[in-house]
Amino acid sequence: MRRNKTFTVDLKALKPHLPIIICFSVFIVGIILGSVLVGSFEPIKELFSNKLEQHIDIRLSKNITKILLDSLKDIFPLYVLVFLLGTSVVGCALSPSILLWHGFSYGSISGILYSTYALEGVMCNAIIYIPSVLFCAFGLAVLARNAVSFSYLLSGICIKANKPINIYSNFKVYCLQGVITLLFAVSSVVFDIVMSVLFINYFNF
């Protein structure tokens, strides 16, 4: 009896975090799709093979500025898209799709790393890619959760045609949340730079 009670309490504790868990699950689904499809469709393989080659070349240069710009180019647009989708009524449905794409991209690159470089690709992925990708994905999951909530609020306003007084304060909170989630993006970029500079030369690409 006590065991059932504890299990119920644990479920209640997880409930507030369920939207983030769902968003992160979408990211995991994207990884699975990318890793499976990249070996089956030549256009996808060619696209992400070129992307991986560019990533590796930039990181082999050990030029911090180039790595920074390349990392920002991959991450920043995703955060902007999720944030902007949250300010529209379609954000409820489309915000998590950015996480699906992020997972698909990472899964495709991982699949190419494994198939092309075998154990060395696994090690490169574990040391250089995974820390950065996880920070980025968690930040996107939090931002997507906030985007879905704010988009749902806007949808309710449109349906009821009744503008609440506190919509502007809600938007300010949404903007503040967006700025805070950028800390995950910054952490992702920092990990990318540090791990690339320290370890990229240990791999024979």
- Confidence check: pLDDT of 72 > 80: yes
33, 36, 60, 173 from 91: Cα distances, Å:
23, 28, 38, 17
- Confidence check: pLDDT of 87 > 50: yes
Residues 168-198: pLDDT tens digits?
888 999 999 999 999 999 999 999 999 999 9
Q: Token pair for residue 141?
A: 């999951």
Q: What pLDDT, on the 0 to 100 scale, is given for residue 173?
A: 93
The more confident residue out of 14 and 34 is: 34
- Confidence check: pLDDT of 1 > 50: no
Task: Kindly give the residue spans of alpha helices, DSSP state H, lying in the chain.
Answer: 2-14, 18-37, 42-60, 64-86, 91-124, 130-160, 167-199
- Residue positions counted in the chain: 205
- Confidence check: pLDDT of 12 > 70: no
Q: What pLDDT, on the 0 to 100 scale, is given for residue 9?
A: 46
- Confidence check: pLDDT of 98 > 90: yes
Torsion of CA 55, 60, 66, 68, to 10 degrees: 70
Residues 144-172: pLDDT tens digits?
999 999 998 887 776 665 555 578 888 99
Q: What pLDDT, on the 0 to 100 scale, is given for residue 159?
A: 66
Q: What is the pLDDT averaged over residues 44-67?
A: 92
Q: Where are the domains of the chain?
A: 21-200
Of the candidates 106, 123, 90, the residue with the CA atom closest to the CA atom of residue 24: 106
Q: What pLDDT, on the 0 to 100 scale, is given for residue 148?
A: 92
65, 119, 123, 125, 197 from 203: Cα distances, Å:
21, 10, 9, 11, 12
Report yes or no: 140 and 76 within 8 Å, Cβ to Cβ: no
Q: Poorest-confidence range of 7-11, 90-94, 119-123, 175-179?
A: 7-11
